[in-house]
Amino acid sequence: LTIKKELPEINIKIDACFLSNPYATDLFMDRFKTDVIDTGLIREVLEFYPSQNNIISKTLSKTIDVPEDNIFIGNGATEIIQAIFHNFVERKVIINIPTFSPYYEFVREDTEVIFHQLKKEDNFCLDVESFCRRAKESGVDTAVIINPNNPDGGYIKNSDIAYICNELGDIPNLIIDESFIHFTYEDSTYDFSSSEQLVKKYDNVIIIKSMSKDFGIAGIRAGYCVMDKQKVETLLKNGYLWNVNGLTEFFFNLCSEEKFMLEYEKVRVKYIKYTNEFIKQLKAIEKIKVYPSKANFVLVELPEQIKSQTFVKDLLIDSGIYFRSCDDKKGLEGNFVRIASRDREQNDVIVREISKYFGDVDE
Amino acid sequence: LTIKKELPEINIKIDACFLSNPYATDLFMDRFKTDVIDTGLIREVLEFYPSQNNIISKTLSKTIDVPEDNIFIGNGATEIIQAIFHNFVERKVIINIPTFSPYYEFVREDTEVIFHQLKKEDNFCLDVESFCRRAKESGVDTAVIINPNNPDGGYIKNSDIAYICNELGDIPNLIIDESFIHFTYEDSTYDFSSSEQLVKKYDNVIIIKSMSKDFGIAGIRAGYCVMDKQKVETLLKNGYLWNVNGLTEFFFNLCSEEKFMLEYEKVRVKYIKYTNEFIKQLKAIEKIKVYPSKANFVLVELPEQIKSQTFVKDLLIDSGIYFRSCDDKKGLEGNFVRIASRDREQNDVIVREISKYFGDVDE
């Protein structure tokens, strides 16, 4: 939206920066229309105060099978990251790079950040052993894992998460950001595997979850955090009273409904399948290197002579497709862009236009 | 909403706890329908990220004639109170009581609160001289003024605000909460007088403004703060990136539109006039004492033998009207309830039912 305002002359036909499942947005919009607009409930939703944090936690508790005392509702994951970093992270934090920048931008002035470089030659895959060793040697109080990671989509398997939890059981905060976990799977059932239940076993585990991506509702602002109940209590003790809005509450109510979640499951799997097709097609384009991803985006390395800014500008002007240049990503040297999977039709256009750009197709 | 969920068997016909201008809600809902629903813009509003804090500040800057660098956009006033108390309030704060409880509940553990009692015999009117003297003698770093105050509606005149600013020019934070200022006026033009412009003269002044009450949109979560630009910078440096939602942004865009604000001004004045009629009628009920208010509610003292909880329960069960019992209000001893002004028809019902309760009317 900001970009559209700043460059009104440019028509973005496909926003391939934007990381969300458009089929889930369709599903939500349908229910929003029938349940909120057509019924006239919208007035109540916008006029009155939403429920307080702990009431919404109670609703979500059943959906994710975690006790309500372990849940903190957030106005999007960014609010939660801020809350954790300003309240619980102390002297030193270890963070893999490249990654989602608020994780080091939101640190307090007195917190030192240890940047753990993910290696390009390892396809940005996390070596859990070296990560845990470095965390322990550096004496951090907080470790951050994003699973799958942004901007590369690298996935950390269940067994590796278990290893990390065991190795880092003694540090006060082990943050696992699962904002893209719904796009992952370990076998042909396409089931995803959240680490939320680990909170019952490890009291230092903090799971941060955005709902913007998987449910396609970034404009509503909805996220949650699963953590030790002492931490939830600390946050609610002097703040976060009405930190989400009426639509967030409606959304979390929907998530507690079996029918909605069954329909969501269908669009989740459908989108994963389309995304897999999309990644396969991108990989077939010779001139670019597509890094392995289990998220709804891929990190793409451009040929040496093509700067990512130039590529982004060219595709935007020529084809109306907007990609995320990764120039500003700390720990990522080279010509990289991040390409989001959109709906099937838009994905086809993206593949065709990139191919055309590199002269791979005849016109 | 929470109460409706917890007591589903009780039908609240009139929520006279709820402090908002229902005519402003009507106005907003009309524009929401024509601009967002009918146009289909709603999908964009809910699907994509809203603009970041500083972009929305730019929009609001023109509306309130304050430089954008001095504006911090908040997810409702409560988020702003939390931000100020966790980031700028240091050792000691002075707060008048009775008042809006987050002002002392959100303090950090290391902050001492000096409670300055507003006197019942003075109609809870603030004696600015004694307040300033106490603030200086106590060596506070922060003073909080709510104008008009909640739960009594006591108004502090322009000249008294000027006096306070002069007297307390040396303390780091002088918070003036103007969440109900749109319901006040000093003469027959009904113009309200915000202290926002004082930020240009005094760098310690912090104006906190909820938009929930005057615009009747609590469910959206919208508020802002006008303060020294260093303070705005500090908050935006490591947080508050996407702290409001797409509807908040739509709302602030509306506020930058002259036509909308002219229509708003009409419903603002209309509601003040109806509220004045309402207060006059309540004052005519012999058995209760109505304290002077310039807000959209009044503090009412019940006869000695009637407990406020009993009164609230009776009116809720018998008449479906819900009042705010003030039992839990620190600094308020006695049988008090707070009664909100709703629309003209509902206000008439409220007056009639209270009169009936005290046997003032024949049935």
pLDDT (mean) for B209-228 = 98
Is residue B279 within 8 Å of B298, Cβ to Cβ? yes
Please report the beta strands in A214-327, taking only residues with DSSP state E, as ranges in sequence order: 223-226, 289-290, 297-301, 321-322, 324-325
Element (H, E) at B258: helix B258-283
Strand partners, B19: none
B246 to chain A, any CB pair closer than 8 A? The answer is: yes
Q: What is the pLDDT of residues B21-35, one digit of tens each?
A: 999 999 999 999 999
How far apart are the CA of B241 and the nearest CA of chain A, in angstroms?
7
Nearest residue of chain B to residue A46 (CA atoms): B219
A18 to chain B, any CB pair closer than 8 A? The answer is: yes
pLDDT (mean) for B166-190 = 97
Residues B207, B175: Cα–Cα separation, whole Å: 6
Quickly list H helices, B141-228. 158-167
- pLDDT of res. A40: 97
Residues B63, B205: Cα–Cα separation, whole Å: 20
Best of A38, A88, A110, A221 to disrupt the B interface (most B CBs within 10 Å) is A221
Q: What is the pLDDT of residues A80-138, one digit of tens each?
A: 999 999 999 999 999 999 999 999 999 999 999 999 999 999 999 999 999 999 999 99
Residues 274-333 of A with CB under 8 A from B: none
Residues A109, B160: Cα–Cα separation, whole Å: 39
- pLDDT of res. A363: 46
For B29, which of A43, A50, A107 is closest by C-beta distance?
A43
- What residues in A contact B218, CB-CB < 8 Å? 47-50, 242
Bridge pairing between strands B205-210 and B223-226: antiparallel
Q: What is the rounded average pLDDT for all residues in chain A? A: 95
Q: What is the pLDDT of residues B291-303, one digit of tens each?
A: 999 999 999 999 9
How far apart are the CA of B96 and the nearest CA of chain A, in angstroms?
19
> Which residues make Cβ contacts (< 8 Å) with residue A102, sequence separation at least 6?
A78, A81, A82, B241
Residues 108-137 of B with CB under 8 A from A: 108
How far apart are the CA of A135 and the nearest CA of chain B, in angstroms?
23
- pLDDT of res. B10: 80
Instruction: Give the total residue count for chain A.
Output: 363
pLDDT (mean) for B278-285 = 98
- What residues in B contact A100, CB-CB < 8 Å? none
Residues B14, A236: Cα–Cα separation, whole Å: 30
- Cβ of B1 within 8 Å of Cβ of A44? The answer is yes
Residues B274, A241: Cα–Cα separation, whole Å: 31
- Cβ of A2 within 8 Å of Cβ of B240? The answer is no
**Ordered DSSP codes for A93-120:** EEEEES--THHHHT--TT-EEEEEEPPG
- pLDDT of res. A7: 63
Element (H, E) at A92: strand A92-97
- pLDDT of res. A360: 61
Residue B124 dihedral angles phi and psi, to the nearest 5°: 60, 20
Residue B5's pLDDT band (cuts 50, 70, 90): low
With 0-12 / 13-18 / 19 or more C-beta atoms within 10 angstroms meaning exposed / middle / buried, residue A75 is buried
Q: What is the pLDDT of residues B75-123, one digit of tens each?
A: 999 999 999 999 999 999 999 999 999 999 999 999 999 999 999 999 9
- pLDDT of res. A4: 53
B346 to chain A, any CB pair closer than 8 A? The answer is: no
Bridge pairing between strands A92-97 and A112-117: parallel
Is residue A181 within 8 Å of A154, Cβ to Cβ? no
> Which residues make Cβ contacts (< 8 Å) with residue A37, sequence separation at least 6?
B37
Cβ atoms within 10 Å, residue A127: 14
pLDDT at A269 over 60: yes
Residues A191, B315: Cα–Cα separation, whole Å: 53
How far apart are the CA of B170 and the nearest CA of chain A, in angstroms?
27
- Cβ of A212 within 8 Å of Cβ of B79? The answer is no
Asked if the peptide bond before residue A148 counts as cis, ω within 30 degrees of 0, the response is: yes
For A217, which of B46, B219, B240 is closest by C-beta distance?
B46
pLDDT (mean) for A217-222 = 97
- pLDDT of res. A11: 85
pLDDT at B341 over 90: yes
pLDDT at B38 over 50: yes
- Cβ of B243 within 8 Å of Cβ of A75? The answer is yes
For A243, which of B25, B79, B85 is closest by C-beta distance?
B79
- Cβ of B242 within 8 Å of Cβ of A43? The answer is no
- pLDDT of res. A1: 43
How far apart are the CA of B5 and the nearest CA of chain A, in angstroms?
10
pLDDT at A37 over 60: yes
- Cβ of A107 within 8 Å of Cβ of B220? The answer is no
pLDDT (mean) for A201-207 = 98
SS3 call for B191: coil
Best of B44, B221, B342 to disrupt the A interface (most A CBs within 10 Å) is B221
How far apart are the CA of B42 and the nearest CA of chain A, in angstroms?
9
Residue A6's pLDDT band (cuts 50, 70, 90): low
Nearest residue of chain A to residue B219 (CA atoms): A46
pLDDT at B196 over 70: yes
Residue A317: closest CA among A9, A53, A4, A16 = A9
Q: Any idea what DSSP says for residue A240?
A: -
- Cβ of A82 within 8 Å of Cβ of B238? The answer is yes
Element (H, E) at A282: helix A258-283
- Cβ of B219 within 8 Å of Cβ of A47? The answer is yes
- What residues in A contact B248, CB-CB < 8 Å? 245
pTM assigned to the model: 0.95
